[in-house]
Amino acid sequence: MSTSTNQLGQRICQLIQSQSQPINYEQLIALIEEGQNEPLNIQEITQINAALRAGLRLGFFQRVRGKFLCLPVFNELQVERSTRR
């Protein structure tokens, strides 16, 4: 699992959204291990934790009662610059 935090965060978000309800940390780890057909090593778990922390801090993920959900992100979100001074 050699990906950047952004790519990993996107992958985690897709995995969470594929479930019918929010999932806890253990379920998330189990789903990732199932997807790669082998247990995660310490480095991979550290990367997943970093992606989850960053996603929570930036508002991409939300944690409610210990379960994660992924908030919708708009691909075409644009910030308009004000021309007023």
In 28-80 the beta strands, taken as DSSP E runs, fall at: 61-64, 67-70
pLDDT in tens, 33-64: 999 999 999 999 999 999 999 999 999 999 99
pLDDT in tens, 60-76: 999 999 999 997 766 55
CATH architecture of 5-70: Orthogonal Bundle (1.10)
First to last CA, the chain: 48
Q: Does the global pTM surpass 0.85?
A: no
- Give CA torsion, residues 28, 32, 39, 42, to 10 deg: -70
